[in-house]
Amino acid sequence: MTAPTSPADAAPSNFIRNLIDEDRRLGKWGGRVETRFPPEPNGYLHYGHAKSICLNFGLAQIYGGACHLRFDDTNPTKEEQEYVDGIIEAVQWLGFDWQEHLYFASDYFDKMYAMAEHLIMVGKAYVDSLNAEEMRAYRGTLSAPGKDSPYRNRSVTENLELFQRMKAGEFPDGTHILRAKIDMASPNINLRDPAIYRIRHATHHRSGDKWCVYPMYTFAHPIEDALEDITHSICTLEFEDQRPFYDWLLDNLAEGGFFSRPVPRQIEFARLNLTYVVLSKRKLIQLVDDKHVAGWDDPRLPTLVGARRRGFTAEGFKRFAERIGVSKADSWIDMSVLEDCMREDLNEAAERRVAVLDPLKLIITNYPANETERCHAPNHPLHPELGKREMPFGRELWIEREDFMETPVKGYHRLYPGNMARLRYGYVVKCTGCEKDADGNITAVLCEYLPDSKSGTPGADNYKVKGNLHWVSVEFAYTAEVRLYDRLFAHAYPGARREGDPEGFERDFTSDINPNSLQVITAQLEPALRAARPEARFQFERHGYFVADRVDSRDGAPVFNRTVTLRDTWKK
């Protein structure tokens, strides 16, 4: 696996489009392009699924075709309607529409069962009664061929009767299994009589208790593709070794008259490998179950529901998918590529607001105590058509604590006794000192303002100062909870024994959790932010991009989550 990709060398690959172009040139499927996104409804979608969604729906759009949303719900013990609903919402949030093409594997169970019976009748499938441990022993290894099961030569009549009795619920789980009859000596282990149906006495989230036998994913998936007239079945690289069975199954069923030719074509691409995250479903479940995060929608978790709550954008994910492209070779993409895509989108889309995250009071001693005036700030410097907003200005303001130093270091240009700085959108002020509490902690900065220096007036040009400070009126500020989210893991390859060795998972990956991945603070925000609606996104000037939390925000009391900082703070 190659090293992480940087934005500069992330040229997108088009090998799938090249294959589709050649199929169209040859007239296959009449030039039609039909793809599908086929999640199993046993969990929430993650960043890797976003790449697949953008790829499959994107290809359909490019070629004027259709992309199906299909749920591979073949395992009733792990699937729930909650996940179906969450997946539908995530795909819609990314901006894609499957129109009338919403399907479930369970819609085809009757047809799949009939196809399994056909394979039995033509001698291409049999009921095996080995237990799981015996099946493993008979299967062989990568270097040694497998052995025929003693049940492999059952008659068609006996196999058919046993399979029908399995369907009728006469046997407990694990007693029998239906296997394809291919070649136990095949160098491809996936062709050594793979299982195609198993007994499961479990209630299905859609079909209820109608079935107690269920197709294996590798059997169901090709059939679903063919039944839906999919042309290009695009999947991740781990299914490459399964492609011979995919082709074997559809070829035999087409021979039996179930499908017309050409049958769908499977194409594999490398899955998303992203630094500083884990995308394994098992590990994501562990993070949630062990309370390392606050749930599946925790903004630090690489789920799409978490990304949405963090303020990541659908356009940012599309930009990311386009930038990294698709390839046949596994490689690592650095998290900074995804974060940069979000920054680029938010820089264009997010209006600007002022927030003071570590507030320190500034008192303008020569400003009238009971007076308030309005300053004006642009809503977006790149889009003047969005106009300006008013910011109330008065005697007492909040500034960032780091904007004052009683004893300045070399090169410090903000406030210190005797120095002048501009209050952005407001006046130039000169620092005259500070106030402290009994323990010597600074509680307020004192200054005087220059009345003829207001921004936007002719006098503003008379003063050349280096410091430019953000501020919020103490009287009108909105005091809000702000959550500073960062990367969940402090190590690029969580669990790897050393950096740059992603294959060596020796440590507990949770030991690499970043202890500073979340800081909850109380900040002082400009009053306009009080009216922010859930999922409204802003650039907090100087600090980064933030979103009003879609879960915890209330009318007149939004809570803000940091989406991403203004620039990459993880560069070494």
281 flagged as catalytic: yes
Q: Which of 40, 117, 351, 373 is catalytic?
A: 40
Q: How many H-runs (helices) and E-runs (strands) does the chain carry?
A: 12, 27
Q: Residue 72 annotated as binding?
A: yes
- Decide: 355 and 482 in contact? Cβ < 8 Å: yes
Residue 41 labeled ligand binder: yes
On whether 42 is known to bind a ligand per the annotation, the reply is yes
8 A C-beta contact, residue 231 and residue 265: yes
Instruction: Return the HEC string of 33-73.
Output: CEEEECCCCCCCCEHHHHHHHHHHHHHHHHCCCEEEEEECC
| DSSP helix/strand/coil, 154 | coil
Which listed residue (167, 200, 271, 361) is catalytic? 271
Cα(543)–Cα(124) distance, rounded to whole angstroms? 64
Q: State the Rg of the chain over Cα.
A: 31
217 labelled as ligand-binding? yes
Can 352 be counted among the known catalytic residues?
no
**Annotated binding-site residue? 215:** no
Active site residue 40: yes
Cβ 126 vs Cβ 159: under 8 Å: yes
Rounded-to-10 torsion of CA 169, 175, 181, 184: 170
Please tell me the chain's helix, strand, coil percentages from 3-state DSSP, rounded to the nearest 5.
30, 25, 45
Say whether 415 counts as a known binding-site residue. no
To the question of whether residue 535 is assigned a binding role by annotation, the answer is no
Q: Is 265 annotated as a binding residue?
A: no
**C-beta separation of 480 from 554 below 8 A:** no
Give dist(CA 511, CA 525) in Å, integer: 36
Q: Annotation-wise, does 131 bind a ligand? A: no
What 8-state DSSP symbol labels residue 208? B
Catalytic residue among 165, 210, 281, 567: 281
Residue 281 amino acid letter: K
Comparing CA positions, the residue from 60, 39, 540 lying closest to residue 303 is 39
Find out whether 456 and 377 touch, Cβ atoms under 8 Å.
Answer: no
Pairing of strands 420-423, 34-37: unpaired
The catalytic residues are: 40, 271, 281
Report the binding-site residues.
40-42, 72, 217, 236, 271-272, 279-281
**Binding-site annotation, residues for L-glutamine:** 72, 217
| Annotated binding residues for ATP | 40-42, 236, 271-272, 279-281
